[in-house]
Structure 1
Amino acid sequence: MIIRLLYLVFLLGVTTTSIAQPKTPATGEIMYHVFQRSFYDSNGDSHGDLNGLRQKLGYLKELGVTSILLLPLYEADCYHNYFANDFESIDPEFGTLNEYLSLVRAIHAQGMKVYMDMETQYVTEKHAWWQSAVGNRDSPFSDYLLFDDSAHNTPATMIFGLRVLNGYDGRVIKVTTVNLKSKQVLDYNRRLFGFFLDPNQDGRFDDGVDGFRLDHAMDRLDDKPTLIDLFASFWKPLVDDLKKINPGITIIAEQADWTDYGFDYFHRAGVDRMFGFELRQAILSFDKSQLIHKADTTLRLCPPGKQQIVFLENHDIDRLASTIEDRSKQKVAAALMFYMGGVPAIYYGQEIGMQGKNKSFGNTDGNNIPVREAFDWYRSGEGLGTAMWYKRSGPWWDEVNNKANDGISLEEERADSGSLFNYYRTLIQVRQAHPALSGGQYSHALNDNERVFSFTRAHGPQRVLVIVNLSNEEQTASLLDPVQVQRSLFGSSRLKNNRIRLLPYEVTVFELK
């Protein structure tokens, strides 16, 4: 009821003095992509929640995080909260609207930003549009959904041609596609997104998100013939109108095709950031030629004023620690993520080496639970706040990755100076201390060794050189273009006469004269 009352205020267009906050530079931004249901449980119901996340903001500051990307918050039957029952209600397992607003204000008070994940292209049979429009052509929402028949008795399929999703908890969830060609739907999205930018309409934005992630954004949604040219007819108008409310926001889009660099989204949809899927593949390949090629395309060709998010994990793909078991290689991958360019994003638990791979347990969304397990706070694997909402709910529990005394927990790693957690903290501290690393232009630096990858970053008067041994053996490399080192910023090996000898999987960073 509270959110609907505030939402009504927004719909009525209460006049306020808008104070457009200037967009702060992304220099130094470190994103933390949190699956909030699995992060920290504040009330003992085993579900991570908004108050739990607020209680752990100190941990994120300790790590070095400067912005938080949430998964959807709206009410839904799916545990991941995509496919909404009601876009205007906070999932009660996460908390209340007031608790959400308290979280946003607390994040801002810490000097951090917050982004909200939104996917308004689909609704379930519990949504008001479905309940009113299915079988009723006279419904005020008859134009809001797609139908397979003229009588509007059969809602259209969703992604992959599906009509039904099977929940991990046994729920059968009917889903359909929203008609993004409807002017009423576009207007609704303007109001919905706009509400979360400035809930109390005071123009200060201290209670509003700093931007949105547009999940599964497409120019032609799921190859449906009626949903074409959506960049021009839906996404660009929506983005433009949101930036009229707050010019300082950042719009992030997830490309449906993970081989797409996202340039079309930048130019035609007006978004600010895309995900560097291809660069991620290159980093995990440990192949120098792939790194050179993908970095040149992802970073050097990125349009001015736009950015790529550089990441190793997210809620849809296998955990890095289960893909690459060698901890030394995990550290190299992390260094490349933080130092190559773009905006680095940590998926919750990545910083402590949490494990998990997507499984095939049948037709169920439980297949993805292994990459969305509870954050491992404690040596014992369980304890106050551990969000094991999936406990004893299916075969994913029988193969759970979270185990006691396995060296993979915040409690164990905090005290270990050589841990992955402390390595992440050090990487971030070095990055934040040097503008060239946090916001400089990437350029490949030639050397004579196919197992050694080197590049420079330049910002204003500062220029740094990063040299990485991609192999498990010592390597010697000579730079083909002479440089002068001012000082070493990271790593133990030294560059002398443009030549360096590197330990296995060593990362070195030098500030140049």
Structure 2
Amino acid sequence: MIRAIKLTLFVFLTATTFIVGFSACQDKTKTNNDIKDEIIYHVFQRSFFDSNGDEHGDLAGIQQKLDYLQDLGVTSILLTPLYESVYYHNYYSSDFEKIDSTYGSKEEYLALIREMHRRGMKLYMDMETQYVTEDHPWYKESLGKPESKFSDYILYDDKEQLKPSSIVFDIYDLLGYDGQRRKITTVNLLNKEVIKYNKELFAYWLDPNQDGNFDDGVDGFRLDHMMDDLDNKGRLKNLFRDFWVPLIDTLKSINPKIHIMAEQADWGSYGIDYLTDAKVDWVFAFRIQQAIRTMDKAKIMAYADTTFKETPQGKNQILFIENHDIPRFSTAVKQDKGKEKVGAALNLLIGGIPSIYYGQEIGMLGDSFFGKYGGITDSNEIPYREAFEWTKNKDTPGMAYWYRNSGPWWETSTVKSDDGISVEEQQNDPNSLLSTYKSLIKLRKEHPVLINGNYQSLNNNSKDVVSFYRINDNTKALVIINLSANEEKIELPLEKGNPNLVYGENKGGFKDGKLEVVISGSATQVWLMK
């Protein structure tokens, strides 16, 4: 993704656009059985856990923490890119075929994925092959050399091939947090050899030893900054048809069970065209994510109605409140404990496939540095990519401080000792945010309607209480979430049968076909009706 620029676009869209009103409920039945029991844990692996003392999170560190992840209840891991790059986030590659050595070896990668598969977990890999740095062979061997076999692999603005084309918003280079600056350019995705290369590259990760057994292969890919007309330049058009669909068709012919998720480049988009035209399985529910941060009932319900109504049968939305490109949720809600738990409930209960960004479950903090220390640089997002807080003592071995003493983001770090934001401090506290995530995930597993039930909004007379159904063939669940800190009282007309409260506490009752709900501030209730 285009790092700081994407954040600017997000802020602009959030501030200037939202859909008003409510639409009809989703009446489509999901046919993809694999959405059952799918909860993604989105890892920024450089910051997760350091297994060898070099302060870089690594593949072996992830493997050591699989017990923690399974205890949390997640079923899948989404990694940020693994391939070699001068940049700490590993976007803008110098070599797509090499694993960044700070993450570990190919053998350690294979050990991780085999162990995950042994446990019944899935691994998804983030890929962005649209851009390369000046260190990449295609760039080096074609610059100023029109006769090179790689001359058409890169977009140039002149016949002499001395002016590599810019990427989005006319960016030609990017300054790294460590002072390194690299030129970046766009790959010609319509070149037949580039298309062939991508098919082979992606296919390799599906079955590294090519034995037809996928125990060592990824379970799918996240396609970063995916577009039909790359960066809206008009030079690489119809990419859905001519690049992405052929690639996805090839991958699904190898392993039909994989899932492809797209990050739509326009964060104001519902991403429906990716699902209908590009053969992508899942897109990210950006509009719901943006609405949740406002804690505005009208926005949340309007965006949820539209998102789920428009999502085609057999496709799905990834529901999230945090990722590696936006400030932390706990920072956005000013560490309001009630709002943190409301965010968890919406993330896990409203529908789609939930994705939890590492550290979200313990309330880690982090704001953007964009505009504070210069222009566009990859340091702007370091504050929400900091070391995962395992212990109450921030200096415990295993902490992934790869950014130590590298700039003001280190000096103003939100990672502190004894502040309540760590696994150690929360794991035995039944009222902690971590315990809330565990209990909500456990609730999903106990009641599958919360996993694969369709979404249907339910109006009520409170401006602060979100209410909706999750419905499958046999069961209907009613979810009620109080966005405010104040106790709320509402009445809801219900169909025949007595509702059964399976999560939360209610001070009201059920009488004459009406459910009287008295819900505490920032609380969640889940009722089952069969």
TM-score normalised by length of structure 2: 0.91
**Does the 8 Å CA contact 2:271/2:283 hold for their aligned counterparts?**
yes
**Does the 8 Å CA contact 1:134/1:152 hold for their aligned counterparts?**
yes
**Does the 8 Å CA contact 2:361/2:437 hold for their aligned counterparts?**
yes
Matched, 1:42 2:51: yes
Task: State the distance in 1 between where 2:214 and 2:235 align.
Answer: 36
Secondary structure at 1:25 match in 2: helix
- The count of aligned residue pairs is 492
Which structure has more RCO (C-alpha within 8 Å, separation ≥ 6)? 2
Q: Tell me the equivalent position of 1:391.
A: 404
Matched, 1:377 2:398: no
Matched, 1:356 2:370: no
Matched, 1:422 2:424: no
Q: Tell me the equivalent position of 1:334.
A: 344
Secondary structure at 2:223 match in 1: strand
Task: State the distance in 1 between where 2:460 and 2:493 align.
Answer: 5
**Residue 24 of structure 1, CA deviation:** 5.5
The within-5 A match list for 1:109-508 is 109-324=118-333, 325-359=335-369, 360-363=372-375, 364-482=377-495, 484-493=497-506, 494-497=508-511, 498-508=515-525
Secondary structure at 2:216 match in 1: coil
Task: State the distance in 2 between where 1:129 and 1:331 align.
Answer: 48
Q: Deviations over 1:97-142 (max 9, x none)?
A: 1111111111111111000000000001111111111111111111
**Residue 45 of structure 1, CA deviation:** 0.3
Q: Where do 5+ consecutive residues of structure 2 fail to align?
A: 1-30
**Does the 8 Å CA contact 1:485/1:495 hold for their aligned counterparts?**
no
Closer, same or farther: CA 483–317 of 1 in aligned 2, 3 Å:
farther
**Residue 501 of structure 1, CA deviation:** 0.9
Aligned partner letter, 1:352: I
**Residue 224 of structure 1, CA deviation:** 1.9
**Does the 8 Å CA contact 1:156/1:163 hold for their aligned counterparts?**
yes
Task: State the distance in 2 between where 1:155 and 1:311 align.
Answer: 36
Aligned partner letter, 1:33: H
**Residue 236 of structure 1, CA deviation:** 1.0
**Residue 495 of structure 1, CA deviation:** 4.2
Q: Tell me the equivalent position of 2:63.
A: 54
Q: Deviations over 1:392-436 (max 9, x none)?
A: 011111100100100001110112111100110001000111110
**Residue 486 of structure 1, CA deviation:** 4.1
Q: Deviations over 1:12-32 (max 9, x none)?
A: xxxxxxxxxx98621121100
Task: State the distance in 1 between where 2:147 and 2:234 align.
Answer: 24
Task: State the distance in 1 between where 2:182 and 2:89 align.
Answer: 13
Aligned partner letter, 1:326: D
**Does the 8 Å CA contact 1:90/1:97 hold for their aligned counterparts?**
yes
Secondary structure at 2:195 match in 1: helix
**Does the 8 Å CA contact 1:310/1:344 hold for their aligned counterparts?**
yes
Task: State the distance in 2 between where 1:394 and 1:470 align.
Answer: 37
Identical residues among aligned pairs (%): 50
Q: Where do 5+ consecutive residues of structure 1 fail to align?
A: 1-21
Closer, same or farther: CA 23–291 of 1 in aligned 2, 3 Å:
closer
**Does the 8 Å CA contact 1:356/1:371 hold for their aligned counterparts?**
yes
Secondary structure at 1:106 match in 2: helix
Task: State the distance in 2 between where 1:495 and 1:310 align.
Answer: 32
**Does the 8 Å CA contact 1:300/1:443 hold for their aligned counterparts?**
no
TM-score normalised by length of structure 1: 0.94
Secondary structure at 2:399 match in 1: coil
**Does the 8 Å CA contact 2:32/2:314 hold for their aligned counterparts?**
no
**Residue 160 of structure 1, CA deviation:** 2.2
Task: State the distance in 1 between where 2:162 and 2:290 align.
Answer: 44
Secondary structure at 1:115 match in 2: strand
Task: State the distance in 1 between where 2:528 and 2:91 align.
Answer: 45
Closer, same or farther: CA 105–487 of 1 in aligned 2, 3 Å:
same
